[in-house]
Amino acid sequence: METILYPPREDWKKLCERSSINLERIEKACREVFDAVEKEGDVAIARYTEMYDGVVIDDFAVSDEEKTACVDKVPEELKRAILTAKSNIEKFHCSQLSVPSPVETSGGVVCRQEIRPIGKVGLYVPGGQAPLFSTVLMLAVPARVAGCGEVVLCTPPMKDGSVNPVVLWTAQQCGVDKIYKVGGTQAIAAMTLGTGTVPAVYKIFGPGNQYVMAAKQLAQRYGVAIDMPAGPSEVLVVADSTARARYVAADMLSQAEHGPDSQSILLTMSETLAREVEKEVERQLDMLPRRDVAAKSLMHSRIVVLDDILQCVDFSNAYAPEHLILSVDNPEEIVGKITDAGSVFMGHYTPESAGDYASGTNHTLPTSAYARSYSGVNMDAFVKKITFQSITREGLEALSQTIMTMAQNECLDAHSRAVSIRLEDNE
C-alpha cells in the first residue's frame, strides 16, 4: 500500500482511478447465452448449468421439500441475527415510502404523484464460496415493502444440485417463494426472456461477477431495467487525529477481503496516523483467513495525506466512493459538504460492516464513481412514481391561452385544438 504525501490537486485525478473492467470482450459470450435461451428456453439453461456449474439439474424450481428442509440446516444463532437485520432493514426502507401531497399549480389544476410497485422483479444472488444471504435481505426486503407482485430469485446451484440453505431460509423469511437454481449469465438471460420454468421480469437487481454484470447490461437492450452498473467494491476513509489506527486499518481490511479488485483509500491530515495505519494494516492482515485476497487488494489501495479536513472532503467528492467512513471527531460538521458517495458511516463506532449487514441501510451501492449519478438501492428502485392530474373546466380555461400559444409555436396544432375544442361548448 502506497502512501502519498500532500499531492498537488492536478494529481488527484490519477489518484482517484479505479481498476477498469472491459465488459465488451465478454459481451459476445453473453449474447450467445441470450440467443440460446431465447430459442431453447429451459434446455439451454440446463446445458449452461452443466457447463458452468458442473451439475445436471432436472427442475430449476426449488421444491417445497427443499424449502422445508432448509429450516433445520440454519443454526439458531444465525437465524436470530438474520431476523434482527431484517427488522432494521424493514424499518429504514419503510420510512422512505412517502408521497408528497397534491399541488394546485394554478386554479383548478391539481397535480400529484402516486407510487406503484414494479410488478415483476428478479433478484440475483451469487453463489461461490460464501453464500450471500445478506444480499437476499438487501433486495427482497425492499421488494416486499414496495409490494412488488412477483419476486423471482435466481442463485447458482452447488455441486450437489442444492441451493445454500441459509439463502433459501432467508428468501422465505422475506416472502420470496419463486426460487430457481440458475446462476451466471444464464440466470440473467432467463429472467430477461422468460423460459418454461423461470418467469420474465421487468427489472433485475443484484451483484455478480463480470459475466453477470455484462449480462445485466445486455438485459437492458431487451427492455429490462437493472438496478445499476457495477464494479469492484471500495471504501474511502477520512480520518482526523482523533481516529484510532486499529479501527481504520480494520475498516480498510474489511473492504480489501472482498476481492483482489477491491480498493481502500485513507485520507488524513495526520502523518502520524498514516504511519500507524500502515503498520496496523500489516499486523492485522496476518490474522485474516482471506489474507491472500486482501493483500492483492492492498496493492492498489493507498493512503493520501492532505493539508486539512476540507481537502479530504474535496478529494472524497472527486473519488465519489461507494462507502465513505468519517472517522473524525465531529462528522456532522462536514456532512453538508459531501456531494458524492454511496453510503456514509459517521464516527468512530460506525464500521462499514454495520451497514453491510444489519443497521438498516442498503448495501447495494454505486461503485466506480457511479455515486456521481446513481443512488444506492432504496425504495425508489422498486417503485414507479406516476403523475396524475385533474383539471376543471375553469382551470383549463385559465390555462388555455398558455397551452395553445406554446403548442402553436411548436407547430403542434392538434395539441392546441385538444384544448380549444373543449372550450367551444357552452356548458
- Does the footprint of its own copies cover residue 426 (CB under 8 A)? no
* Marked catalytic residue, from 258, 300, 323, 363: 323
49 vs 262, which CB is nearer to its own copies? 262
- The residue among 186 and 350 lying less far from its own copies, judged by its C-beta, is 350
List binders of its own copies among 208-247 (CB under 8 A): 217, 220-221, 223-225, 229, 244, 246-247
Nearer to its own copies, 144 or 415 (CB): 415
Which DSSP symbol is given to 199?
P
Q: For the segment 250-269, give every residue that binds its own copies (CB under 8 A).
A: 250-251, 253-254, 256-258
**Would you count residue 287 as binding its own copies (CB under 8 A)?**
yes
* CB contact set of 175 (below 8 Å; sequence gap of 6+): 140, 144, 151
Instruction: Collapse the DSSP code of 348 into the 3-class scheme (helix H, G, I; strand E, B; otherwise coil) and give the result.
Output: coil
Binding mask 32-71 for its own copies (x = CB under 8 A): ----------------------------------------
Q: Clarify whether 323 is annotated catalytic.
A: yes
Select the span of 64-72, 266-274, 298-306, 364-372 touching its own copies (CB under 8 A).
Answer: 364-372
> Does residue 78 sit in helix, strand or coil?
helix
Residue type, 11: D
C-alpha grid cell, residue 257:
477481503
Distance (Å, whole) CA 91 – CA 84: 11
Q: Any contact of residue 158 with its own copies (CB under 8 A)? A: no
Query: Minimum Å distance from CB 297 to its own copies?
Result: 11
Are the C-beta atoms of 78 and 178 separated by less than 8 Å? no
- The pairing of strands 383-391 and 109-117 is antiparallel
| Residue 281 within binding range of its own copies, rule CB under 8 A | no
Nearer to its own copies, 185 or 343 (CB): 343
Q: Cβ distance 322 to 312 under 8 Å? A: no
Of 66-105, binders to its own copies (CB under 8 A) are: 77-78, 80-82, 84-85, 87-88, 91-92, 95-96, 98, 100-101, 103, 105
410 given a catalytic annotation = no
What CA–CA distance (Å, rounded) separates 155 from 183? 5
Residue 4 β-bridge partners: 304
- Outline where 222-308 has alpha helix (H): 245-256, 271-285, 291-299
Written as one letter, the residue type at 300 is H
Total binding residues toward its own copies, as defined by CB under 8 A? 133
CB nearer its own copies, residue 46 or residue 174: 174
For residue 129, count other CB atoms closer than 10 A to its CB: 5
Q: Any idea which residues carry the catalytic annotation?
A: 322-323
